[in-house]
Amino acid sequence: MSKLNILTYPDPFLKTKARAVESVGEAEQSLIEDMVETMYGARGIGLAATQVGVDKRIIILDVPEETTEDLDTDDGEVFEEGKARGRSIKEDRPSEEAKRGGNLLKLINPEIINSSGSIVYEEGCLSVPGVNADVKRAGEVTVRALNQDGEQFEIEASGLLAVAFQHEIDHLDGILFIEHLGRIKRNLIKRRLRKIAAEELESA
Strand, coil or helix: 10: coil
Task: Convert 153-185 to b/e letters by CB count within 10 Å (16 or more is b).
Answer: eeeebbbbbbbbbbbbbbbbeebbbbebbeeee
Catalytic residues: 168
Rounded CA-CA distance 109/94 in Å is: 31
Taking a C-beta distance cutoff of 8 angstroms, is the pair 176, 128 a contact?
A: yes
